[in-house]
Structure 1
Amino acid sequence: MTTIIDYGIGNLRSIEKAFETVGATVHRTDDPAAIAEAERLVLPGVGAFRACIDEIRRRDLEGPIHDAIGRGVPFLGVCVGMQLLFETGYEKGEHEGLGVLPGHVAHFRETDAGMPDELTVPHMGWNAIEPTRDHPLLDELGATPYVYFVHSYHPVADDADDVLTTTSYGHTFPSVVQRDNVFGVQFHPEKSQAAGLGLLDNFAALPTTEEAGRTVST
């Protein structure tokens, strides 16, 4: 069972349908107990970092998310859901994230790497993801699969070992992150056709807590 965290923000039905397309059994909920006890969790997100994290906290979902991650549950953050995994977001102020991964979230034009003036922000459209290492999440996707992005902010990971793929747009940024049972994708797999569906299929096939026995500190 793949549980999608429904906190009222994100492409909930689209990602639900995408998982159903690859044969996953899906449950969508905002019930803290169901989230804390889930076998596999997905945190979608669209829009602003602050609005998303505020709504998660308003619904008392932060604790259950940490509880599930601490149990070793396979966890996937999508777009802003990926960004929320980091410690701090700098979108219209400074906002505390879930703090699962060390690092922060910055605007394309506000990173130390800089950004060419001729490139538009948001980064919107198809772009390649380049793996830094092999992982079952990326199985059968090809050497440099193309996926669909829509975002103005991206994570800046403090630990290079957390970066599973990178993408170049003006500068290189993490497009997939992974630490133990926690995963995040900056792009929208539900809009990324075969590559996106393949990634969701791979996620749905990852070992559950009892099978994996791996946890991440939160």
Structure 2
Amino acid sequence: MIGIIDYLAGNLTSVARALAYLGYKCFISSDIKELKKAERIIFPGVGAAKSAMESLKKFYLDEFLKESFFKGVPILGICLGTQIIFEFSEEDGGTKTLGLLKGKVVKFPQPLLWKEEVLKVPHMGWNKVNWVKEHPVFKGLDPDYEYYFVHSYFVIPEDKEVICGITFYGVNFSSAIAYKNLVAVQFHPEKSGKPGLQILKQFCEWNP
């Protein structure tokens, strides 16, 4: 059974629908007692870091995530869930985040230029991922596949060894992360068609 963490950050039902389509049982909850029964955890989300951290603390989900990580429970972070696993986000004037991994979250440069064109922020739409490190959750993905992004901020890991995928949008940024029992993607696999479903399936079968 897969637990999807509900911390009032939205985008939960689309993840649940994708898992159901793949044939995996899941539930959405903010109840720690229920989530502790899950064999693996998905930590999705859209929105702002500050309000997300406030919600996590309100339901004691921040401590639950840390505990699950150190216990070796497989965890998948998606979009905002990827940003919050690091130590600090520049969003909202600066927000201390979970600190499961060392690093920070920064906003795209303004203006964001590419070949004299001003790129829109947030980065919204389809883009490729350059897979730079092999990992069971990201195996067998065609390099020409594109994934769906919606974000204004991106992560800068302190340890570059955790980076599995890099995407270019005006600047190169880390779009896929893996460390021990934790994987995370800046894009939305549940909205990325066949390659996104492949990632979700491989996460559900992964035993770190």
The TM-score range, normalised by the shorter chain, is over 0.9
Q: Deviations over 1:152-196 (max 9, x none)?
A: 011111110011100000110000111011111100111100011
- 1:38 aligned partner: 38
Deviations, residues 14-64 of structure 1 (Å, cap 9, x unaligned): 111011111111121111123344310011111111111110001111111
CA contact (8 A) 1:130 1:167 kept: yes
Alignment of 1:112-131 (within 5 A): 115-116=112-113, 118-131=118-131
More deviation in 134-143 or 165-174? 134-143
Alpha-carbon shift at residue 204 of structure 1 (Å): 0.5
Report the AA paired with residue 200 of structure 1: L
Partner residue in 2 for 1:149: 149
Q: Which runs of at least 4 in structure 1 moved beyond 4 Å after TM superposition?
A: none
Distance 2:101 2:121 in 1: 25
Match of 1:59 in 2: 59
Counterpart AA for 1:57 = K
- Where 1:175 maps in the other structure, the secondary structure is strand
Question: Structure 2 CA distance, aligned partners of 1:169 and 1:193?
Answer: 21
Tell me, yes or no, if the aligned pair for 2:189 and 2:195 is still in contact at 8 Å.
yes
Structure 1 counterpart of 2:170, which letter?
A: G
Q: Which residue of 2 aligns with 1:17?
A: 17
- Identity, in percent, stands at 37
Counterpart in the other structure of 1:215:
none
1:75-110 deviation digits (Å, cap 9, x = unpaired) = 011100110000001112111110001111110017
CA contact (8 A) 1:155 1:174 kept: yes
Instruction: State the partner residue of 1:103.
Output: 103
How big is the alpha-carbon RMSD for the aligned residues of Structure 1 and Structure 2?
A: 1.4
| Structure 1: gaps spanning 5 or more residues | 213-218
Name the CA distance, whole Å, in 1 between partners of 2:108 and 2:57. Answer: 27
Q: Secondary structure at the match of 2:50?
A: helix
Aligned to 1:186: 186
**Is the Cα–Cα contact under 8 Å of residues 85 and 101 in structure 2 kept in the other structure?**
yes
Q: Look up the SS of the partner of 1:118 in the other structure.
A: strand
Does the 8 A contact of 1:33 with 1:64 survive in 2? Answer: no
Q: Which has the higher contact order (CA 8 A, sep 6+)?
A: 1
Deviation at 1:126, TM superposition (A): 0.5
Q: Using the TM superposition, give the Cα deviation of residue 144 of structure 1 relative to its aligned residue in structure 2, in angstroms.
A: 4.2
Whether contact under 8 Å (2:133, 2:163) holds in the other structure is no
Once residues 5 and 109 of structure 1 are traced to their aligned partners in structure 2, the CA distance between those partners, rounded to angstroms, is: 31
TM-score (norm 2): 0.94
Match of 1:69 in 2: 69
TM-score by length of 1: 0.90
CA contact (8 A) 2:128 2:143 kept: no
